[in-house]
Amino acid sequence: MVLLSLVATHSDVDLETVARLSIGAPQVPSVVLADDRTVAGAVVLATCNRFEIYAEAPTVEDVEAARSAIISTISEYSGISEQSVSSSFRTHTGQDVAEHLFAVGAGLDSAVIGEREIAGQVRRALIEAQGSGAASGSLVRLFQAASKTAKDVGAQTALGSRGRSIVSVALELGSDISADPDWSRKSVVLFGTGAYAGATVAALKDRGCTDISVFSSSGRAEAFVASRGGTAVSAAGLADALGQADVVIGCSGSDARIDAADIERVRAGSTSPLLVIDLALSHDFDPAVGLLDDVELITLESVRAAAPDEQADSLVQASDLVRDAARAFEEQQSARAMNASIVALRRHTQSVLDSEMERVRAQHGCTAAAEEVEFALRRMVRQLLHVPTVRARELAAEGRQEDYEAALQALYGIDVTQPGTPADATADRTPRTMPGAGAGAEDAACPVDRDRPARGA
C-alpha cells in the first residue's frame, strides 16, 4: 500500500479557490472509494486555509490513477475543470506525505504559526473518516502519528506556550483598530456553531466579553450556547441584534452571504462604528461591507498578513521534531510492508516442512523418531530464516522492500501481492493425520510437542 496526498493551501492558491475546491468535501472519500479500485482509503482535511485529501493506493503503479480519480470527483462537485483542479493541488508521496501532515498538525503550515485549532481539526478529520468507513489502517496510523507529533511540538518547543491562533490574531487586530479596545464593553454577534465559533467564544470570554449573541442558519444556536454560553438569536431577531452590535464575527461559511446592503439597512440611523470579522473560508460577508461608512472589515487575508513571525530557534526545533517523526513513521510503514514478505517466506518454508513430515509419518507413524526428525527440521528452518529476516528489516529501513519481494519471486516463486499463493493455502494448518498408521489412523492427530528439546538416543 502507498500513501499520497493532494494539498491546496493558502500558501499556493487564493482562499476563494480553496473554498470552491472544498465544495462537497465530506462526500469525496466515500464517492472515490465506491467508484475507483485504485483508492483503498481516503481522509479529507478541510479548514479555513486548506483543502487536503490523504489517500492510500494499492501499489506505486496505482498512485497516478488514484490521483486522477480524486481530481475527477472534486471537479464534479466543485464545477471547476479537471485541469484547473489538478493545477491547484500539490501531490505528495512517500515520507513527504507524513512530513507535510505532521507540520500541518503542529501548526507550522498555518497562516498563524503554531496555531492550536488545527490539531483538533486533524483529529476530527480522522474521526469523520473512521465513522464513514473511509479511513484505511495506514491512514489511521498516519493521522494518529500526526496528533502525537503535534503534542510533542507543543510540549517541547516555545510554540506551544504562545497560544497564537487565527482567532486570537483577528481579535488583536480588532483591538488595534477599535476606538475602544476594551472587549468587556462590546456587544458581539457571532455567526456559526462550528469549531472556530467555539474557539471564538472562548477567546472573547478570555478578553472579558460577556455580551455574545449567536446565530445559526442550521438552528443549532440553542445547543451551542447551552454548552458554551451566550444568547441564541433567531432569524426574526437577527436584524435587531446586528443593529445594536459593536462587533460581528462570521464563522459559519454558509451559502447565505450577508451583503453590504443588508448591513447598511439594519444599521440605518446608527452612528456607532461596527467591526466585522470574517473568519469563514467562503466568506460570510460580502467584501463590499468594508467599503461602508463606519465599518471596518477584517478577513482571513488580513489575519495572514498580520500574523506575527515566530522565533527562528523555535521553528527550527519544531521542524526537526516533525522531520524526525515523519522519518520514523515512514520506517515503520516500510517495516510493516516487509512483514508480508517475511510471513510469505515463513509460510513457504513451513509448507515444505509439513510436506516432508507427512512423508516421515507415512513411513514411521507418530513415533519418537518422527518427533526427533521434526524437532531437528524445525530448528534448521529457524536458523535458515534468521538471515533473510534480518535482511528484510535492513532493506525496509533503506526503502528497498521491492528488491526483497523480487528476490522471493525469483528464488522461490513467492508472489507477496497475490493472496492465493501456495504459501497462503498452507498457512494455519490443523494437526495432520497419519497415513499408514493403522486402523482409524485417518481420523487421529499426531500429538507432537514441537518445542520440547530432543531426547538423547
Separation of alpha carbons 25 and 414, rounded Å = 41
User: Is the CB of residue 275 less than 8 Å from the CB of residue 248?
Assistant: yes
Chain-centre distance of CA 389, in angstroms? 32
The residue whose grid cell reads 460581528 is: 248
Is 210 annotated to bind a ligand? Reply is no
110 assigned ligand-binding residue: yes
> Does residue 442 have a known ligand-binding role?
no
Given a contact cutoff of 8 angstroms between Cβ atoms, the answer to whether 431 and 445 are in contact is yes
DSSP conformation class of 80: -
Query: Was 366 annotated as part of a binding site?
Result: no
Asked if residue 115 belongs to a known ligand binding site, the reply is yes
446 is in an annotated binding site: no
78 is in an annotated binding site: no
Q: Which three cell numbers stand for residue 242?
A: 446586528
What is the rounded distance in angstroms from the CA atom of residue 302 to the CA atom of residue 311?
A: 21
65 is in an annotated binding site: no
Name 3's Cβ contacts closer than 8 Å, sequence gap at least 6: 54, 55, 56, 57, 93, 94, 97, 98, 138, 139, 142, 333
Query: Which residues have a Cβ under 8 Å from the Cβ of 285 and sit 6 or more positions away?
Result: 248, 250, 257, 258, 263, 276, 278, 297
Please state at what angle helix 312-364 crosses helix 137-156, rounded to 10 degrees. 140
Paired strand residues for 188: 212, 247
Amino acid in the structure at residue 160: G
Sheet hosting strand 211-215, strand order edge to edge: 231-233, 211-215, 187-191, 247-250, 274-278, 295-299
Distance of alpha carbon 364 from alpha carbon 372, whole angstroms? 12
Does the annotation flag 339 for ligand binding?
no
Please choose, from the candidates 70, 72, 69, the residue with its C-alpha nearest in 3D space to the C-alpha of residue 83. 72
What 3-state DSSP class applies to 280?
A: coil
CA distance 355 to 441: 18
The answer to the question of whether 323 is labelled as a binding residue is no
- What gap in Å lies between CA 402 and CA 407, rounded to an integer? 9
90 annotated among ligand-binding-site residues:
no
193 is in an annotated binding site: yes
Q: Are 77 and 24 in contact (CB under 8 A)?
A: yes
Determine whether the annotation assigns residue 195 to a binding site.
yes
Whose CA is closest to 29, among 17, 43, 19? 43
- Per-residue DSSP letter, 246: S
209 in active site? no
Residue 405 marked in a binding site: no
On whether 149 is known to bind a ligand per the annotation, the reply is no
Strands (E), 236-334: 247-250, 274-278, 295-299
Point out the annotated binding site. 47-50, 110, 115-117, 121, 192-197
Point out the annotated binding site for NADP(+). 192-197
Point out the annotated binding site for substrate. 47-50, 110, 115-117, 121
Which residues form the catalytic set? 48
